[in-house]
């Protein structure tokens, strides 16, 4: 059994190598390749990641709500599988609430929530890609990533955005989503999306994403300040990655019911 | 070990740790009131118009010591009950955790929640507060803490939980706030003094969570009997054995739970005061049906063993329960306005007794710290059923909470 797995992995590795060779042979990467690299940079950088995140939810009247959380992520090898863990520090009413996601590349994720008031771990229905993440303008999908194959991509051109050379890509979802067209401006060197615009079926601008600050952390380009603005309601969410670390040594065992109930203090500070 | 000794041990532990590091203090101020709908005859001692009118301050203290291997939590409610004109201290939780790589030990008053069912209980045999629940208090008040010593072990093959607890009874509706059918019986209650024990073993099977449960416990509602004119209530022994499985299905979550209730003191089913043995089964499914909208449904069956013996010994004048009781539930949840507005509906329908219980609710978060909820507890159907018996207690409620 172990032998068979190794062979398959080896084969996958070879294909990836061949793919890389083909890419370098071509002068211009395809839209799929650009999007794949940007998804990898945004959602898969390093073996693992720990971040202390502060979210500001601002309504059109300027009234603010805040979310303070720790995000832990681990990639399970190169399988595309990932584990996510999100622990809430504030506000006081939801302190100690924790989410856990086992993410799979080609099927629905497994998700759990721990509700501290009644000491309950509950599995939650995962078909919520379009749902808002804790009331913010980001969806669950924005937080934990989408698959390159969920959309068809077209390279619209190359230009400069705030003095950075970028690819402009148009992506159309293959199945029904909350948006029907997405434009992204992807940094040519750093592979990060610097801006995204989501449009509805009538071509109206629904949401705008901006990477407001990009820094290199542990060798990985990271959007340390990002924002999402709802074009129709004027509601916006600003996110600051206050502490970010890659390859910090998270183990797979951390992403289990045990630590959902009692997070390991070492990681949740 | 008596509950006083257990708490004493804990107080000592807490003192040790409290001196180690400054704790964090949080909590909330909460006002809650429920008004009865409709007018009926009722006993003079029953709070009629406003069966619930209370204000409480909850203080939550959390801290750690011994370089992180010891944690402690205290949750204390200072309660002013304007309905009963009473002021009370309610120790909701008070426990210390000792953590190591291989195990965690938790000692003290703690809330334990088992099972995968939603507001139906099979393997969760732990104490409940039905008074708070029927009065519309937030869900956390349905659970009462157990004074317990709990050991969680983490061998490679599974997570194992071993629990030793003092008995604590359910808080059941009484004539202080509820209009109940039948005569008002005041009974001398005899609470068990022996420790209860529980074992829970859980593990993942791929994307599925499988759990086994064993409880050596007691029924938490008293079995009443009349001895020489005096009513006495005892809490009969109960052994519960069960399992649950939950996992993904068609972009939703499927939950299965089963349990066998061994009614130790009435195994042949001939004692009308004591519940017969039962088998309980549950199938639940929930999924998101639209953006920010979730629907959950459950089907539940409770099969009474030795129904013939029960019928033979049922005293004259008591209405007979079916051998098979089936209940369906529905939960609808919808978020609006960036999840600041929650619409909720939970409904039970007992298809055997033809009665039901409907809980609509609307909650709005004015800010991160302040939320308010209005809702109702509506009991419908046959008065002989468990929900229908509460038909004179329909209420609308309002809760306002400021968290800090």
Taking only the tens place, the pLDDT of each residue in A27-84 is: 688 999 999 999 999 999 999 999 999 999 999 999 999 999 999 999 998 888 999 9
- Given a cut of 50, whether residue B54 has pLDDT beyond it is yes
Is B244 in contact with B211 (CB distance < 8 Å)?
yes
| Beta-carbon separation of A131 and B292 below 8 A | yes
Is B347 in contact with B295 (CB distance < 8 Å)?
no
Looking at this predicted complex, what is its ipTM? 0.85
For residue B207, which residues of chain A lie inside 8 Å, CB to CB? 102, 110
For residue A122, which residues of chain B lie inside 8 Å, CB to CB? 116
Q: What is the pLDDT of residue A2?
A: 41
Taking only the tens place, the pLDDT of each residue in B347-384 is: 999 998 999 999 999 999 999 999 999 999 999 998 88
For residue A123, which residues of chain B lie inside 8 Å, CB to CB? 116, 209, 246-247, 253, 255
Other CB atoms within 10 Å distance of the CB of residue A159 = 11
> According to the 3-state scheme, what is the secondary structure of A155-207?
EEEEEEECCEEEEEEEEEECCCCCCCEEEEEEECCCCCEEEEEEECCCCCEEE
Phi and psi dihedrals of A117, rounded to 5? Answer: -60, -35
Of B64, B154, B252, the CB nearest to A258: B154
- Given a cut of 60, whether residue B296 has pLDDT beyond it is yes
Chains A, B: CB contacts within 8 A come to 100
Interface probe for B, chosen from A120, A136, A139, A238 (most Cβ of B below 10 Å), is A120
Closest residue on chain B to A117 (Cα): B140
Give the length of chain A.
269
3-class secondary-structure state, position B170: coil
Closest CA to A54 of A99, A85, A90: A90
Closest residue on chain A to B60 (Cα): A92
How far apart (Å, rounded) are the C-alpha atoms in residues B197 and B283?
27
Q: Binning pLDDT at 50, 70 and 90, where does residue A175 land?
A: confident
Q: What is the pLDDT of residue A181?
A: 95
How far apart (Å, rounded) are the C-alpha atoms in residues A42 and A216?
12
How far apart (Å, rounded) are the C-alpha atoms in residues B386 and A25?
75
The residue to which tokens 């980001």 are assigned? A138
3-class secondary-structure state, position B41: coil
The DSSP string of A123-138 is EE----TTSBSTTSSS
How far apart (Å, rounded) are the C-alpha atoms in residues B343 and B336?
8
Q: How far is CA B186 from CA A65, B97, B192, B226, in A?
A: 51, 40, 19, 11
| Beta-carbon separation of A118 and B111 below 8 A | yes
Interface probe for B, chosen from A64, A67, A92 (most Cβ of B below 10 Å), is A92
Q: What is the pLDDT of residue A7?
A: 43
The DSSP string of B186-234 is --EEE---SPEEEEEEEEEETTEEEEEEEEEEE-SS-EEEEETTEEEEE
Q: Binning pLDDT at 50, 70 and 90, where does residue B65 land?
A: confident
Looking at per-residue pLDDT, the higher value among A218 and A1 belongs to: A218
Q: Tokens for B247?
A: 């996992």
| Beta-carbon separation of A262 and B112 below 8 A | no
Closest residue on chain A to B101 (Cα): A264
Q: What's the predicted TM-score (pTM) here?
A: 0.87
Looking at per-residue pLDDT, the higher value among B230 and B319 belongs to: B230
């Amino acid at each position: 059994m172990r032998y068979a797995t190794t062979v398959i992995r080896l084969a996958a590795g070879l294909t990836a190598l061949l793919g890389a060779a083909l890419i370098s042979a071509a002068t211009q990467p395809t839209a799929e390749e650009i999007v794949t690299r940007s998804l990898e940079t945004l959602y898969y950088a390093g073996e693992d990641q720990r971040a202390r995140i502060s979210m500001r939810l601002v309504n059109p009247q300027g009234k603010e709500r805040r979310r303070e959380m720790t995000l832990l992520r681990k990639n399970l090898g190169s399988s595309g599988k990932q584990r996510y863990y999100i622990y809430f520090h504030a506000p006081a009413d939801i302190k100690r609430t924790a989410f856990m996601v086992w993410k799979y590349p080609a099927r629905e994720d497994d998700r759990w929530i721990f509700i501290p008031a009644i000491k309950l771990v509950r599995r939650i229905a995962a078909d919520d890609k379009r749902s808002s993440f804790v009331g913010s303008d980001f969806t669950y999908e924005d937080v934990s990533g989408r698959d390159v194959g969920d959309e068809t991509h077209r390279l619209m051109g190359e230009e400069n955005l705030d003095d950075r050379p970028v690819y402009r890509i148009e992506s159309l979802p293959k199945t029904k989503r909350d948006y029907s067209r997405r434009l992204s401006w992807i940094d040519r060197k750093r592979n990060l999306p610097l801006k995204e615009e989501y449009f509805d079926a009538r071509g109206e601008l629904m949401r705008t994403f901006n990477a407001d600050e990009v820094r290199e952390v542990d060798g990985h380009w990271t959007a340390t300040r990002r924002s999402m603005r709802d074009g129709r309601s004027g509601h916006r969410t600003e996110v600051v990655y206050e502490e970010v670390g890659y390859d910090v040594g998270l183990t797979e065992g951390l992403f289990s019911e045990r630590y959902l109930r009692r997070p390991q203090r070492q990681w949740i500070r | 070990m008596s509950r006083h000794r257990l708490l004493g041990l804990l107080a000592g532990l807490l003192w040790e740790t409290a001196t180690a590091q400054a704790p964090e203090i949080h909590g909330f101020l909460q006002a809650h009131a429920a008004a009865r709908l409709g007018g009926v005859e009722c006993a003079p001692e029953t709070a009629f118009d406003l069966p619930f009118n209370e204000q409480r301050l909850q203080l939550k203290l959390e801290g750690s010591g011994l370089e992180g291997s010891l944690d402690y939590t205290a949750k204390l409610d200072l309660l002013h009950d304007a309905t009963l004109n009473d002021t009370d201290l309610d120790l909701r939780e008070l426990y210390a955790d000792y953590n190591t790589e291989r195990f965690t030990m938790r000692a003290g008053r703690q809330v334990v929640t088992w099972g995968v069912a939603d507001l139906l209980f099979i393997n969760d045999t732990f104490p409940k507060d039905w008074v708070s629940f029927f009065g519309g208090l937030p869900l956390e008040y349905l659970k009462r803490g157990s004074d317990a010593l709990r050991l969680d072990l983490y061998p490679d093959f599974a997570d194992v939980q071993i629990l030793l607890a003092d008995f604590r009874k359910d808080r059941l509706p009484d004539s202080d706030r509820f209009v109940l059918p039948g005569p008002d019986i005041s009974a001398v209650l005899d609470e068990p003094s022996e420790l209860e024990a529980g074992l829970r073993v859980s593990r993942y099977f791929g994307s599925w969570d499988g759990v086994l449960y064993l409880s050596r416990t007691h029924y938490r509602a008293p079995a009443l009997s009349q001895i020489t004119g005096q009513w006495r209530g005892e809490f009969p022994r109960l052994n519960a054995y069960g399992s649950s499985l939950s996992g993904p299905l068609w972009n939703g979550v499927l939950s299965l739970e089963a349990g066998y209730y061994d009614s130790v003191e009435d195994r042949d089913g001939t004692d009308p005061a004591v519940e017969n043995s039962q088998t309980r089964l549950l199938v639940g499914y929930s999924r998101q049906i639209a953006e920010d909208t979730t629907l959950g449904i459950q089907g539940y069956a409770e099969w009474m063993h030795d129904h013939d013996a029960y019928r033979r010994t049922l005293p004259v004048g008591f209405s007979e329960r079916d051998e098979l009781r089936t209940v369906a539930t529905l939960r609808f949840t919808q978020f609006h306005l960036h999840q600041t507005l929650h619409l909720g509906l939970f409904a039970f329908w007992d298809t055997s007794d033809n009665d039901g219980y409907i809980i609509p609710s609307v909650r709005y978060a004015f800010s991160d710290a302040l939320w308010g909820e209005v809702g109702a507890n509506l009991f419908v159907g046959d008065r002989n059923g468990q929900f229908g018996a509460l038909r004179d207690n329909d209420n609308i409620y309002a809760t306002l909470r400021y968290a800090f």
